[in-house]
Copies of this chain bind each other. A is one copy, B any other.
Amino acid sequence: MVLEIGHEADRCDCNVIHEDVVERVRLTMPREEDLYDLAEFFKVFGDSTRIKIISALFKNEMCVCDIAYLLNMTQSAISHQLRVLRQARLVKNRKEGKIVFYSLNDEHVKQIFDQGLNHINE
């Protein structure tokens, strides 16, 4: 098999390659960077503490302390996770004196959450 210059087959250690299929697929795939961002996005959903927080905020905005109480975890742990959710733009907050209320910040979240539930319940 003739490899083109610069062809990225350095690590692939097998021979049966359906070149036509691979190249066709390559054309349809999103940019590498977008796929990376997408994985980062789903990573945020991939932790049970964060999923619980998201699930809780569907019903009501809540302050950090309420969430810590609800989930029986330290305020620090919740605050750390809220930061992750904030950075992913999944939650927003408003301040009322000392108290910070968090709520969801995205319309897609509920749909993604529910479709995930569909999958695990089928």
Q: Contact check, A72 vs B9: say whether CB atoms are below 8 A apart.
A: yes
Give A121 Cβ to nearest chain B Cβ, in Å.
Answer: 8
Q: Contact check, A59 vs B120: say whether CB atoms are below 8 A apart.
A: no
> In residues 80-122 of chain A, which contact B (Cβ within 8 Å)?
89, 99, 106, 108-109, 111-113, 115-121
Q: Contact residue range for chain A?
A: 35 or more
The 8 A CB mask of A31-69 against B (1 = contact, 0 = none) is 000111111111111111011100110111011111011
Q: Contact check, A17 vs B65: say whether CB atoms are below 8 A apart.
A: yes
Residues of chain B within 8 A (CB-CB) of A30 are 55, 117
A10 at the interface (CB under 8 A from B): yes
Q: Contact check, A62 vs B22: say whether CB atoms are below 8 A apart.
A: yes
Q: 30 pairs across A/B with beta carbons < 8 Å? A: A9-B69, A10-B72, A11-B72, A12-B69, A12-B74, A13-B68, A14-B68, A15-B65, A17-B65, A21-B62, A24-B60, A25-B56, A25-B62, A28-B58, A28-B59, A29-B55, A36-B51, A38-B116, A38-B120, A39-B45, A39-B47, A40-B46, A41-B119, A42-B42, A42-B51, A106-B119, A108-B115, A108-B116, A108-B118, A115-B115
